Amino acid sequence: MKLLLTAFDPFGGDAINPALEAVKLVADKIGRFDIVKLEVPTVFRKSIDTVAKAIEEEKPDVVLCIGQAGGRFEITPERVAINVDDARIKDNEGNQPIDIKIFEDGENAYFTTLPIKAMVEAIREANLPAAVSNTAGTFVCNHLMYGVLYTLAKKYPHIKGGFTHVPFIPAQVARRTPVAPYMALEDIKRGLEAAISAIDKNFEADINVNGGKEF
């Protein structure tokens, strides 16, 4: 089996993106999955096109996209992506769409097809904070999550997909005022590996536990 693991390049004035740095460290084989890694531009539309091309070429069983959510304490698998771009800042090519649909023929929202409750439990069992998130925002992270799930629903319904946010790492917050929450890069890497292992073990169905957090 194959899992396509994507992460964004740095954005918003940061010189580093913890999502990308952690993905680089993730093992190349986890459970039944061979891990294929992909760097994605933090750019509206181009991000979706980049991942859609990789899906066509790699034909993975799972697509898991990783992004940075500065200000969050936990590793947060996302439940849902909504059909709107509403950017508070410009992307890496200067685009700043406001209240624009991502796909005119898409659903209002697409829900992840990954076992997010099992992913959270696995991350917690690795002694790391985790929570299901009920909002992926309206910037490029939500844009890509929506675009991937739209692409899978339209063309590859047998492929599972979803998105997970990770916190800042220490180097990003050392000079921030006030200091933001952060997590060590090695811990983010361990958390992602635990989440992927949970996807492998719960591939057919998620576990039945309550949970979810609004950010």
- Which of 112, 118, 111, 117 is CA-nearest to residue 31? 118
Rounded Cα distance between 140 and 69, Å, is: 11
**Helices first, then strands: H and E counts in the chain:** 6, 8
Q: Which two tokens stand for residue 133?
A: 């998130």
74, 141, 143, 193: the catalytic one is 141
Angle, CA of 176, 181 and 182, to the nearest 5°: 95
21, 65, 74, 165: the catalytic one is 165
SS (H, E, C) 37-48: EEEECCCCCHHH
User: Which 8-state DSSP code applies to residue 180?
Assistant: P
65 carries an active-site annotation: no
21, 65, 74, 78: the catalytic one is 78
Point out the residues that are catalytic: 78, 141, 165
